[in-house]
Amino acid sequence: MDFLISEEQKMIKQAAKDFAELELLPGVIERDENQEFPVEQVKKMGELGFMGMMVDPNFGGSGLDTLSYVLMIEELSKIDASSSVIASVNNSLVCWGIETFGSEAQKEKYLRPLATGQKIGAFCLSEPEAGSDATSQKTMAVDKGDHYILNGTKNWITNGNSASIYLVIAQTYPEKGYKGINALIVEKASPGFEVGPKENKLGIRGSDTHSLIFNDVKVPKENRIGADGFGFKFAMKTLSGGRIGIAAQALGIAEGAYELAKKYAQERKAFGTEIANHQAIRFKLVDMHTQIEAARLLVYKAAKEKDEGKDYVLSSAMAKLYASKVAMDTAVEAVQIFGGNGFVKEYHVERMMRDAKITQIYEGTSEIQKLVISREILKK
């Protein structure tokens, strides 16, 4: 895969790998067990520039390309998918959304603290009755002249409590359907903003996922992103890039599980030899290795297309669809190779198997990716 990565990108990958091994690995099992947010680790990620990788240095970012960002997420995810999703949402949904579509004043006020990691962002699209069907927004942003009054509930919000800057998608003109939807920047300190209880999740338990409740929250009009009614397109365009980040996360989980399983297979003995010498295990390793290489090509291709200014709706959906399947399949097989040890926490692969599942659900389920892909390949 070296032919796709520059010397500078290799150094970024190495820096992320070193950080993950030194700072994320210690305590990763306990954070998962206790649902503990990696406060100190995220602070260090900010200091290293990992929270605003693609943001212009004029706004405190690292000014790097999407492929560099993907390499960072991939390396973090090999060890701790909870930390990587915190970074992924901040980078590719919140920072990218504000930098690409926000006003200069919004960038000055909100992008800088997000890009430097001083503040964390959240992206609030899903609702109790609007997950995949994202146009059916029930959260209302009523136009009151110089401000909006926001009412409603958002569900399954990553960084739900740890964030302090929220991009909230809400309906202003229900009669216009998706063309009436707006995207608003909402501050946590706003009166009427309430964070619901933490979700007790199957995986990525170190990240905090909450529902959010808005009760007559006053949002100044200057906090609307883009033109009146641009909110749904804003969400869709932003999610296309977000899917590259989740695809990279899935790729990293797959690689992490595969590397552990390969090492274990070369050490563990059964029937008088290392289990890697048994064809039953070898064939599993072959499938894992081959599928990971294929997933990596799709993920890097989507990142390259974004960097080259090409349309990446199709490539990002394909990368997420395939990499998340490879993550799930690889993690299940890794547990199988570990046998009984795979079922206990200290060997890490059971956590990776639980973490892998969410990559097939958030930022669009696999079924939604297939819908997006089918539309793209069939359109004239």
Q: Which residues are catalytic?
A: 363
Judged by CB under 6 A, the residue of 24, 114, 183, 313 near ligand CAA is: 313
Which of positions 204-233 make contact with ligand CAA (CB under 6 A)?
Answer: 232-233
- Bridge-based pairing of strands 121-124 and 165-171 is parallel
Residues that contact ligand CAA, how many (by CB under 6 A):
23
Q: Is the Cα torsion angle 299, 303, 304, 309 positive or negative in sign?
A: positive
> Interface with ligand CAA by CB under 6 A: which range of 11-19, 55-63, 292-300, 367-375?
367-375
Q: Output the smallest distance, CB 376 to ligand CAA, in A.
A: 9
Under rule CB under 6 A, residue 158 binds ligand CAA: yes
- For ligand CAA, which is the closer residue by CB, 164 or 291? 164
**Binds ligand CAA by CB under 6 A, chosen from 172, 201, 364, 373:** 364
Which residues, at least 6 apart from 232, have a Cβ–Cβ distance to it below 8 Å? 134, 135, 169, 178, 179, 181
The residue from 5, 9, 100, 178 that contacts ligand CAA (CB under 6 A) is: 178
Answer yes or no whether residue 181 interacts with ligand CAA by CB under 6 A: no
Separation between Cα atoms, residue 24 and residue 21, nearest integer Å? 6
- The residue (of 148 and 156) whose beta carbon lies closer to ligand CAA is 156
Q: Give the residue, chosen from 12, 20, 81, 89, that forms a contact with ligand CAA under the rule CB under 6 A.
A: 89
Check residue 239 for interaction with ligand CAA (CB under 6 A). Answer: yes
Measured distance CA(209)–CA(290) in Å, rounded: 33
Stretch that binds ligand CAA, among 196-204, 216-224, 333-341, 365-373 (CB under 6 A): 365-373
Task: Note whether 149 binds ligand CAA by CB under 6 A.
Answer: no
CB of 12 to ligand CAA, least distance (A): 23
Residue type at position 254: A
On whether the CB atoms of residues 233 and 61 are closer than 8 A, the answer is no
Instruction: Extract the tokens encoding 109.
Output: 């006020």
**Alpha helices by DSSP H, the chain:** 7-19, 28-34, 39-47, 66-79, 81-88, 96-101, 104-106, 112-115, 231-267, 279-307, 313-338, 349-358, 366-378
The least distance separating ligand CAA from the CB of residue 344, rounded to whole angstroms, comes to: 29
CB of 26 to ligand CAA, least distance (A): 25
**DSSP 8-class letter at 111:** I
Task: Tell me the backbone φ, ψ of residue 133, rounded to 5 degrees.
Answer: -85, 75
Q: Of 219, 212, 218, 182, whose CA–CA distance to 101 is shortest? A: 182
Q: Which residues of 106-139 are buried (b: 16+ CB within 10 A; e: fewer)?
A: bbebbbbbbbbbebbbbbbbbbeebbeebeebeb
Nearer to ligand CAA, 336 or 365 (CB): 365
68 near ligand CAA (CB under 6 A): no
Task: Give the Cα separation of 156 and 131 in Å (integer).
Answer: 9
Least Å distance, CB 232 to ligand CAA, is 6
> Which range in 10-18, 32-40, 130-138, 195-203 contacts ligand CAA by CB under 6 A?
130-138
Told to check if 15 binds ligand CAA by CB under 6 A, we report: no
Q: Which of residues 98-127 bind ligand CAA (CB under 6 A)?
A: 123, 125-126
Binds ligand CAA (CB under 6 A): choice among 155, 240, 291, 360: 240
| Cα 61 from Cα 45, distance rounded (Å) | 12
| 237 near ligand CAA (CB under 6 A) | yes
54's tokens? 């693609």
Q: Which residues bind ligand CAA (CB under 6 A)?
A: 89, 123, 125-126, 132, 134-135, 157-158, 178, 232-233, 236-237, 239-240, 313, 362-364, 368, 371-372
